[in-house]
Homo-oligomer: A and B are copies of this chain.
Amino acid sequence: MTYHRLPTHGRRPSTAGDTVPLDLSGIRRIVDIGLADFLDDRVHTAVDGRMPSEVPRLLKGFLEAGGKRLRPLLCVIGWHAGGGHGDIAPVLQVAASLELFHAFCLIHDDVMDGSRTRRGRPTVHRALADQHASGRSRGDAERFGTSGAILVGDLALSWSDELVHAAGLTAAQFTRVLPLIHEMRTEVMYGQYLDIAATGSPTGDLDRALAIARYKTAKYTVERPLHIGAALAGAPGELCAALSNFALPIGEAFQLRDDLLGIYGDPATTGKPCTDDLRDGKHTAVVAIALQRADRDQRQALTSLIGDADLDEDGLDRVRGILSITGARHAVEQMIQTRCEQADQALDQALFPPTAHHALRTLARSVTGRTA
């Protein structure tokens, strides 16, 4: 067994002085190099022990294929917001662990949703099914793909733990950060559970759609990474509350944008087709509002088209039309706008150091306008 601390390779991101903007792409690069090194090490260990080295290889390929590294960035920003100083290497390693945990979430999510592509590539379960098709029936290959992806995800979850434990945290940091990591895990898993339980039979229940967005995205993607970073810095409870005031609206806006991109986005940019969410019958805010406002014919059309596994481009256009005519799309755009303003106000009221303030403002802006 090799315990691993992410090497910074002399690429330490700028942390000098509170007025210098954070080097976000530098942080991203260090996190990526660290994860690649960690997984390379797992490949070597697996080869030496005659264990299946394709598992760490797959994870490495998955991470290299893309991703915004939002959670690691927010973790580091949270550390700055909390007045963090001293050795940043342990913070970067915890940040990296969040990305490996996120890989776990996405891999299992793709299995659950039966998604075929992610980041413009075949999903892990599809890739495994294709790689192991030889000598197997198509059905058996699919089943191997699903089972293998479940295990690859399980290993990503376990290994994300190892990164935290080997980060070189002080006992005080460890004690503060661990309950937050546990909370984050339970929240996102419960959020996913609420999501799949509502999938297939969307209703006009907007509160439910927003609760799903809060747990599976706002808390998991934004609030908890910030809290974890702040906890590493030893920040007090009030600072975490101030971070939540920013994080929850911006996180909800992020999910609402994601819902719209799932229907209106450019597949070449988002890396996934526009029919996936609708075919699954995801219970999203835009669908809930449309169902609230639809007349009888529109409701009938939505009910028959959303959740239809064979939904085609014509059906997609019909759904898009109803979402526009009922004003549901516009309403969600407004909800995104309102939430971004709330987050902006929360930032103005908070007393974060300028570096953190500036980075959060930048990230918030990118959420409203993003296309992928």
Which residues on A are within 8 Å of B, measured CB to CB? 1, 3, 46, 50-52, 55, 108, 111-112, 114, 132, 135-136, 140, 143-144, 146-148, 150-151, 154-155, 157-159, 161-162, 165, 171, 178-179, 182-183, 185-186, 189-190, 192-194, 196-197, 199-201, 211, 215
Across the interface, name the chain B residue whose C-beta is closest to A137: B200
Across the interface, name the chain B residue whose C-beta is closest to A51: B190
Q: Is the interface of A mostly helix, strand, loop or mixed?
A: helix
Across the interface, name the chain B residue whose C-beta is closest to A50: B211
Of the A-B pairs whose beta carbons lie under 8 Å apart in the complex, a sample of 24, sorted by A's number, is A50-B211, A51-B190, A51-B194, A52-B190, A52-B193, A111-B147, A111-B150, A112-B146, A112-B147, A112-B151, A135-B200, A135-B201, A136-B201, A144-B197, A147-B196, A148-B193, A148-B196, A150-B150, A154-B189, A155-B190, A158-B186, A161-B182, A165-B178, A171-B171
Is B179 within 8 A of A136, CB to CB? no
Q: A150-B150, A151-B196 are in contact. List 5 more A-B contacts (CB 8 A).
A: A51-B215, A55-B190, A112-B150, A144-B199, A161-B182
Is A193 within 8 A of B151, CB to CB? yes
Is A186 within 8 A of B155, CB to CB? yes
Residues of B near A155 (CB, < 8 A) are: 186, 189-190
Residues of B near A159 (CB, < 8 A) are: 186
Across the interface, name the chain B residue whose C-beta is closest to A185: B158
Residues of B near A183 (CB, < 8 A) are: 1
Residues of B near A151 (CB, < 8 A) are: 108, 112, 189, 192-193, 196
Bound together, the chains give a CA A50 to CA B51 distance in angstroms of: 42
Is A179 within 8 A of B3, CB to CB? yes
Is B150 within 8 A of A108, CB to CB? yes
Of A52, A161, A186, chain B has the most CB atoms within 10 Å of the CB of A186
Number of copies: 2
Partner pick for A143 among B114, B135, B161, CB 8 A cutoff? B114
Bound together, the chains give a CA A288 to CA B217 distance in angstroms of: 48
**Whole-angstrom distance from the CB of A7 to the nearest CB of chain B?**
20
Across the interface, name the chain B residue whose C-beta is closest to A281: B140
**Whole-angstrom distance from the CB of A41 to the nearest CB of chain B?**
12
Residues of B near A112 (CB, < 8 A) are: 146-147, 150-151
Is B136 within 8 A of A200, CB to CB? yes
Bound together, the chains give a CA A151 to CA B186 distance in angstroms of: 10
Residues of B near A140 (CB, < 8 A) are: 200
Is A196 within 8 A of B144, CB to CB? yes
**Whole-angstrom distance from the CB of A141 to the nearest CB of chain B?**
9
Bound together, the chains give a CA A143 to CA B193 distance in angstroms of: 13
Which 3 residue pairs spanning A and B have beta carbons closest together?
A112-B147, A158-B185, A51-B190
Residues of B near A143 (CB, < 8 A) are: 114
Residues of B near A114 (CB, < 8 A) are: 143
Is A197 within 8 A of B165, CB to CB? no
Residues of B near A147 (CB, < 8 A) are: 111-112, 196
Across the interface, name the chain B residue whose C-beta is closest to A144: B196
Bound together, the chains give a CA A108 to CA B3 distance in angstroms of: 27
Bound together, the chains give a CA A299 to CA B161 distance in angstroms of: 46
Is B1 within 8 A of A182, CB to CB? yes
Bound together, the chains give a CA A146 to CA B108 distance in angstroms of: 11
Residues of B near A185 (CB, < 8 A) are: 158
Is A1 within 8 A of B179, CB to CB? yes
Is B197 within 8 A of A182, CB to CB? no
Residues of B near A178 (CB, < 8 A) are: 165
